[in-house]
């Protein structure tokens, strides 16, 4: 039952479209106020009346029915109460019936979304700074698939540029095939840091690095053999982390993939008269749009990020015919995306409007910013392993006889890392702290996972349940049911706003409501109908919390 639609149909407001009105209706934070509310200040401009007067007029004209039992005006809000018993029984049956599909939608049917995320750099360690783009992008992929979209997850590998020439120089001077195969990314990081230390004393090394990168571009056998080694080692190592975080991709087409696809884009820019020469470099002048020029080619003819991103955008449109193309990249790159989106628009690409920069905040250390060049990073693998170890210790202390402790510790530890990164609005900066990530107290993932485990325990003790027709509800029971009913709207909003934290906060709200209900309402009571009703609530909470955590890439556990 879509109660928002029912309310919309019963309200006839001149000058306000039904679709607009539907979007205005919200769920109040406190169910004592009502089950749905219309904030009438949103109608004040169209109706040219004070919100309080609008609410009073609409309330007096409203006729309750079997679904909407009451309508009152309170301080400029129009509050609606529904037939709660019918709503509750139907909703619980729906959730248990739909199971894994509860909260899903088909609004994305026939539409394709490309999501560019994680986009690690080859031969560099997977550090804590890569966590946000990886888990935000992965969650958005899962959310949009849940909403019916065809999703193409893209890991736009950073596998192009002079840094590979630097690595070849460093490899030849201070490493070997055996050392790289043995110590993997640690060895590549060691020689990369050493290169930058030595280049301060011997700047001529940079000329040698540029020469080696040119050899890679020109197809030199030895240089490309080393490049492929660095790439293979990196992907093998980061794949371990992706598996821990339940992250996967449909494409690993990185920057080098577009090496032969940039020339047509540059030629088109020239044909359309958009290219200007400035100090030998090719640019697109964006002064008219309040931005500095977009650099397309350096004076030596080599490409830049913008060139490769434009080639990638054209390729993605031609290959996937996307309806939206999202870039999950830190807000530091705001200007870059504004520039290259604008250049595509100037080229006449009408689909440029469908490209979205999903910006997120930066991660720094308590000691300052991270830098691979200086070796000042916190490896993501180390963070995950420490949280898994912490989870195992807690399990040992509180439930040493628990079966499958290793598997449970892995789910709880990795969940804590993912949940911590997705708990707040994505645009907020994060100062990384082991103490905070490793905390299992308060609003954390272990709290939500424990709630699911608690539901499992109740279900195993109380059996399958049965009829609960005619049972009355108390406030704690209805509060949980009200939270359950919000899930579908939360998932839609998370997709519309590109904000996985909506799902994270929802999971906490539902877990809190259920645990209050659990403490105040004994489930295994003698009255069979009350027991069955409360058991049905428990089943619905387990399903909904599991679905919410799955959208975030987090596993649930049967027991903790």
CB-CB neighbours of 415 under 10 Å: 26
β 150-154/112-116 pair status: parallel
Question: DSSP character for 424?
Answer: S
Q: With 80 as the cut, is the pLDDT of residue 374 above it?
A: no
Question: DSSP character for 368?
Answer: B
Torsion sign across C-alpha atoms 136, 139, 141, 147: negative
What pLDDT is attached to residue 75? Answer: 93
Question: Residue ranges per domain, the chain?
Answer: 3-82, 112-259+304-365, 380-552
Where do the DSSP E strands lie in 215-369? 276-278, 281-284, 294-297, 324-330, 355-360, 363-365
Does residue 362 or residue 326 have the better pLDDT? 326
Largest CA distance in the chain: 86
What pLDDT is attached to residue 331? Answer: 94
% pLDDT > 90, the chain: 76
User: What is the chain's length?
Assistant: 560
Strand partners, 368: 365
Q: Which residues contact 418 (CB under 8 A, 6 or more apart)?
A: 135, 245, 445, 552, 553, 554
Q: With 60 as the cut, is the pLDDT of residue 370 above it?
A: no
**Residues 380-552, CATH architecture:** Orthogonal Bundle (1.10)
What pLDDT is attached to residue 375? Answer: 52
- For the stretch 144-155, pLDDT in tens is 999 999 999 999
For the chain, what is the mean pLDDT? 92
Does residue 381 or residue 432 have the better pLDDT? 381
Buried b (16+ CB within 10 A) or exposed e, 400-411: eeeeeeeebbbb
The mean per-residue pLDDT over the stretch 299-311 comes to: 88
Q: Are the C-beta atoms of 80 and 68 separated by less than 8 Å?
A: yes
- Name which of 36-50, 377-391, 483-497, 525-539 the model is least confident about: 377-391
0.75 surpassed by pTM: yes
Question: Distance (Å, rounded) from C-alpha 322 to C-alpha 317?
Answer: 6
pLDDT band at 191 (very low <50, low <70, confident <90, very high): very high
Q: With 90 as the cut, is the pLDDT of residue 349 above it?
A: yes
For 496, how many CA atoms within 13 A lie in the half-sphere containing its CB?
8
Q: Which residues contact 392 (CB under 8 A, 6 or more apart)?
A: 405, 406, 409, 413
Q: Which candidate, 521, 486, 536, 477, places its Cα nearest to that of 507?
A: 486
pLDDT band at 529 (very low <50, low <70, confident <90, very high): very high
| Long-range contacts at 288-294 (CB < 8 A, ≥ 24 apart) | 289/342, 291/335, 291/338, 291/339, 291/342, 292/335, 292/339, 294/339, 294/340, 294/342, 294/343
Q: With 90 as the cut, is the pLDDT of residue 467 above it?
A: no
3-state secondary structure of 82: strand
Q: Are the C-beta atoms of 78 and 37 separated by less than 8 Å?
A: yes
Q: With 60 as the cut, is the pLDDT of residue 500 above it?
A: yes
User: Helices 221-244 and 177-201 meet at what angle, rounded to 10?
Assistant: 100
- For the stretch 208-260, pLDDT in tens is 999 998 898 888 999 999 999 999 999 999 999 999 999 999 999 999 899 88
pLDDT band at 368 (very low <50, low <70, confident <90, very high): low
What pLDDT is attached to residue 523? Answer: 94
What pLDDT is attached to residue 440? Answer: 67
Q: Which residues contact 58 (CB under 8 A, 6 or more apart)?
A: 11, 13, 38, 40, 71, 73, 78
Q: Are the C-beta atoms of 174 and 191 separated by less than 8 Å?
A: yes
Q: With 70 as the cut, is the pLDDT of residue 369 above it?
A: no
3-state secondary structure of 20: helix
Distance of CA 304 to the CA centre of its chain: 28
The mean per-residue pLDDT over the stretch 503-510 comes to: 97
Alpha helical stretches, state H, 11-48: 18-24, 44-47
Q: Which candidate, 261, 384, 389, places its Cα nearest to that of 313?
A: 261
Q: With 70 as the cut, is the pLDDT of residue 184 above it?
A: yes
Report domain 3-82's class: alpha beta
What does 467-516 look like in DSSP terms, one character per residue?
Answer: --TT----HHHHHHHHHHHHHHHHHHHHHHTT-THHHHHHHHHHHHHHHH
What pLDDT is attached to residue 353? Answer: 98
- For the stretch 270-287, pLDDT in tens is 999 999 999 999 999 999
pLDDT band at 295 (very low <50, low <70, confident <90, very high): very high
Q: Which candidate, 308, 378, 265, 338, places its Cα nearest to that of 119?
A: 308
The mean per-residue pLDDT over the stretch 442-456 comes to: 92
β 355-360/324-330 pair status: parallel
Q: Which candidate, 457, 480, 429, places its Cα nearest to that of 557?
A: 457
pLDDT band at 466 (very low <50, low <70, confident <90, very high): confident
Options 3.40.50.620, 3.40.605.10, 1.10.3720.10, 3.30.565.10; CATH for 112-259+304-365 is: 3.40.50.620
Does residue 13 or residue 144 have the better pLDDT? 144
pLDDT band at 328 (very low <50, low <70, confident <90, very high): very high
Q: With 80 as the cut, is the pLDDT of residue 435 above it?
A: no
The mean per-residue pLDDT over the stretch 365-385 comes to: 67
Question: Distance (Å, rounded) from C-alpha 154 to C-alpha 139?
Answer: 13
Q: With 70 as the cut, is the pLDDT of residue 139 above it?
A: yes
């Amino acid at each position: 039952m879509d109660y928002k639609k029912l309310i919309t149909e019963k309200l006839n407001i001149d000058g306000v479209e039904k679709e607009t009105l539907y979007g205005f209706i919200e769920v109040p934070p406190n169910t004592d106020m009502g089950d749905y509310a219309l904030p009438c200040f949103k109608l004040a401009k169209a109706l040219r009346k004070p919100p309080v007067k609008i609410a009073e007029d609409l309330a007096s004209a409203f006729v309750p029915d079997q679904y909407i039992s009451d309508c009152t005006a309170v301080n400029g809000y129009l509050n609606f109460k529904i037939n709660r018993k019918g709503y509750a029984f139907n909703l619980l049956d729906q959730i248990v019936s739909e199971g894994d599909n509860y909260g899903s939608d088909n609004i994305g049917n026939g539409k394709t979304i490309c999501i560019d995320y994680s986009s690690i750099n080859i031969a560099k360690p997977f550090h804590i700074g890569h966590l946000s783009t990886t888990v935000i992008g992965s969650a958005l992929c899962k959310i949009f698939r849940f909403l019916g979209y065809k999703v193409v997850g893209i890991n736009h590998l950073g596998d192009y540029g002079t840094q590979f020439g630097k690595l070849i120089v460093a490899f030849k001077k201070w490493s070997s095939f055996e050392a790289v195969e043995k110590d993997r990314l640690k060895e590549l990081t060691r020689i990369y840091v050493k290169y930058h230390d030595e280049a301060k004393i011997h700047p001529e090394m940079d000329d040698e690095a540029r020469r080696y990168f040119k050899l890679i571009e020109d197809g030199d056998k030895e240089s490309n053999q080393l490049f492929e080694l660095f790439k293979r080692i990196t992907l093998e190592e980061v794949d371990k982390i992706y598996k821990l975080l339940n992250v996967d991709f449909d494409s690993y087409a990185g920057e080098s993939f577009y090496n032969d696809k940039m020339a047509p884009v540059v030629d088109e820019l020239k044909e359309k008269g958009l290219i200007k020469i400035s100090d030998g470099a090719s640019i697109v002048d964006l002064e008219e749009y309040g931005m500095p020029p977009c650099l397309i080619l350096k004076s030596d003819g080599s490409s830049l990020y913008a060139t490769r991103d434009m080639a990638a955008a054209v390729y993605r449109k031609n290959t996937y015919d996307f309806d939206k193309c999202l870039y999950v990249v830190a807000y530091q790159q705001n200007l870059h995306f504004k520039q290259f989106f604008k250049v595509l628009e100037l080229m006449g690409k009408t689909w440029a409007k469908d490209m979205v920069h999903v910006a997120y905040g930066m991660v720094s250390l308590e000691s300052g910013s991270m830098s691979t060049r200086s070796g000042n990073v916190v490896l993501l693998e180390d963070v995950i392993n420490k949280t898994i170890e912490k989870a195992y210790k807690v399990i040992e202390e509180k439930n040493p006889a628990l079966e499958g402790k290793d598997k449970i510790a892995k789910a709880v530890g990795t969940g804590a890392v993912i949940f911590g990164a997705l708990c707040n609005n994505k645009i907020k900066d994060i100062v990384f702290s082991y103490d905070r990530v490793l905390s299992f107290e308060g609003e954390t993932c272990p709290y939500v996972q424990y709630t699911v485990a608690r539901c499992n325990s109740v279900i195993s003790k109380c059996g399958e349940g049965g009829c609960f027709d005619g049972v009355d509800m108390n406030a704690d029971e209805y509060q949980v049911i009200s939270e359950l009913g919000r899930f579908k709207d939360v998932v839609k909003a998370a997709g519309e706003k590109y904000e996985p934290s909506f799902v994270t906060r929802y999971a906490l709200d539902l877990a809190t409501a259920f645990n209050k209900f659990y403490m105040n309402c004994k489930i295994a009571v003698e009255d069979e109908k009350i027991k069955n009703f409360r058991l049905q609530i428990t089943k619905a909470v387990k399903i909904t919390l599991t679905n919410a955590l799955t959208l975030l890439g987090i596993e649930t556990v049967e027991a903790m």
